[in-house]
Structure 1
Amino acid sequence: MRMNGKIALVTGGSRGLGKVMVDAFAAEGAHVVIASRKIDECAALAQQIREKYDRTTLPVACNVSDWAQCDSLVEKVYGELGRVDVLVNNAGMSVPYPSLDEVGEALWDKVLGVNLKGPFRLTAAIGTRMAAGDGGSIINISSMAAIRPEPEFLPYAAAKAGLNTLTEGFAKAFAPKVRVNTIQCGAFRTDISRAWSSDVEAELAAGAALGRIGEPAEIAAAALYFASDASSFSTGAMLRLDGASCTVQAKSLVMVRDSFRGV
């Protein structure tokens, strides 16, 4: 029970890696706030967590690309639960585009809003309260695209590179009471990966030194490390969790990108 009694807020928490982390935190004793754009999915998962673990759960609809909705999320959580001990900036998305010269301003703003603007606002607001209180842990979910950008993902890669930068900056800003760390993810087997063809999964697996894609329990273990006192001397860190992946073919990148749009 490494998180007994703690309150954990996970954005993009109703599906994919977010859902896995919500379950892992609750299993270790945490009460959870599940935030995403789709309140029905948040509420359904909240009910499952209550029944499975007898934890306090709070489902909240929030599009993190909207500054005002981020502020409303913070006020709702602190108003109902009083504090946040762990924040996971997990919500992410990418949008298909035919060519780089056809990336419009709306697409750019949408991708940067979800992947960078939202995490900045939530980290600034919650981290400030954590630092003024009993401290806490903030975990950013980044991507290997941040350090290995491909043309098919360029706005997304730029946003995640910015998120990596925010990690170290916020770690300094809120030290010593708040720790801020990043997990850089490769390909994982979640509900989102069901959209991948067998050829795409085989290529992704072949492109990793470990010869496979990640399993959900492996992101849960990393998130629990950063969320708990086990990582008490870790801040500003970036953990690669990709099986030592290398560049894959463009067709597979497009399939992966398209599968998690709008998470």
Structure 2
Amino acid sequence: MTSAQAREGAVALVTGASRGIGLAVARALAKCGHRLVMTAREPDALEAAVAALRAEGAQAVGCPGGVADSGRARAAVDLATSEFGRLDVLVNNAATNAPYGALMDVDLTRWRAAFTVNVESALHLTQLAWRAWMREHGGAVVNICSEGASHVGPNVGAYGTSKAALLHLTAQLAGELAPLVRVNSVSPGLIRTEMARFVWEGAEEQLAASLPLARIGEPEDVARAVTWLASDAAEWVTGTDVLVDGGTSVRAAAGGTAPYAVHERLRAAAPREP
């Protein structure tokens, strides 16, 4: 068994799994031997993603609906136990980067919506997974946070603050659910996803030059970290955040003194609403 290979029959639930990081995580977990329950807001996109993984040999089912809908969250966990009889791994990936702009201008209804998607849904799904399977059998939870949780940046205050809350939630749950359930997080830097397209499109060379590892990230970079945390290779790791950022956090030590290129893009860009 390889270091990240799943235990026999293991089942993983991945949210926001129709594209980007979520799809890459689902694909990587499937290659390690996990059976999959995948969720996403858009039914057609989810159906296509599930079909693609099945064509690659994965055992996968889809449960359409956004994680902010408590009924759909419960349906996803119920599907895992009814279809596969267990739920070993939960990856809380679904997120929104809205509202976008200065916090003094933010609409508080949309602020609360961001926390519902980015923080509350992770707690709720973890509660459901705990009650349905993990309380008796153990498991692993991996939350997708953000390197932006640790610093401020223009126009993404709501997103960064919610991800900082998710980072703390990860540590809190790790303490509460030990020793049966390990809870960790992965914090990506700039990744080539649709949600971040407004940042990287047309500026890849500039952005890559600002990073010690000289490229922006790919969803597969994040997926490899998730599969490790979900596996027995990380069996003595909990309450930890794995930073997958191409060296963003050490760019000053590596000789980078110019303003962070992503921040310059965030100041100038007008993102499409997710």
Distance 1:81 1:109, change over 3 A: same
Q: d(CA) in 2 for partners of 1:198 and 1:173?
A: 44
Q: d(CA) in 1 for partners of 2:146 and 2:267?
A: 15
Q: Kindly state the Cα deviation for residue 156 of structure 1 after the two structures are TM-superposed.
A: 0.7
Secondary structure, aligned partner of 1:239? strand
Q: Kindly state the Cα deviation for residue 71 of structure 1 after the two structures are TM-superposed.
A: 2.3
2:114–2:159: 8 Å Cα contact kept in structure 1? yes
Matched, 1:248 2:252: no
Matched, 1:9 2:22: no
The corresponding residue for 1:258 is 271
Q: d(CA) in 2 for partners of 1:94 and 1:219?
A: 18
Give per-residue Cα distances to partners, 1:92-150, cap 9 Å, x unaligned: 11125453322112210221111111111111221344442221110000001100121
Which range moves more in the overlay, 129-138 or 2-11?
129-138
Write the letter of the residue equivalent to 1:30: H
Q: d(CA) in 2 for partners of 1:133 and 1:241?
A: 32
The corresponding residue for 1:117 is 120
Mapping 1:173-184, distance limit 5 Å: 173-184=176-187
2:213–2:246: 8 Å Cα contact kept in structure 1? yes
Distance 1:103 1:41, change over 3 A: same
Secondary structure, aligned partner of 1:258? coil
Q: Kindly state the Cα deviation for residue 208 of structure 1 after the two structures are TM-superposed.
A: 1.8
Give the TM-score normalised by the residue count of structure 1: 0.90
Secondary structure, aligned partner of 1:189? coil
Q: d(CA) in 2 for partners of 1:90 and 1:208?
A: 24
Q: Kindly state the Cα deviation for residue 159 of structure 1 after the two structures are TM-superposed.
A: 0.7
The corresponding residue for 1:66 is 69
Q: Kindly state the Cα deviation for residue 193 of structure 1 after the two structures are TM-superposed.
A: 5.4
Q: Identify the match of residue 143 of structure 1 among 136, 141, 146.
A: 146
Q: d(CA) in 1 for partners of 2:185 and 2:262?
A: 26
Matched, 1:36 2:40: yes
Q: d(CA) in 1 for partners of 2:221 and 2:270?
A: 21
Q: Which runs of 5+ in 2 are unaligned?
A: 250-259
Secondary structure, aligned partner of 1:82? coil
Aligned Cα RMSD in Å?
A: 2.1
Q: d(CA) in 1 for partners of 2:47 and 2:96?
A: 21
2:81–2:132: 8 Å Cα contact kept in structure 1? no
Q: Identify the match of residue 233 of structure 1 among 233, 236, 239.
A: 236
Distance 1:18 1:83, change over 3 A: same
Matched, 1:19 2:8: no
Mapping 1:99-114, distance limit 5 Å: 99-114=102-117
Matched, 1:95 2:98: yes
1:96–1:257: 8 Å Cα contact kept in structure 2? no
The corresponding residue for 1:166 is 169
Matched, 1:224 2:237: no
Q: d(CA) in 1 for partners of 2:159 and 2:43?
A: 25
Give per-residue Cα distances to partners, 1:130-183, cap 9 Å, x unaligned: 442221110000001100121311111111001101111111111111110000
Equivalent residues, number: 259
Write the letter of the residue equivalent to 2:36: V
Secondary structure, aligned partner of 1:205? helix
1:6–1:31: 8 Å Cα contact kept in structure 2? yes
Secondary structure, aligned partner of 1:220? helix
Distance 1:203 1:106, change over 3 A: farther
Q: d(CA) in 2 for partners of 1:217 and 1:68?
A: 30
Write the letter of the residue equivalent to 1:170: L
Secondary structure, aligned partner of 2:155? helix
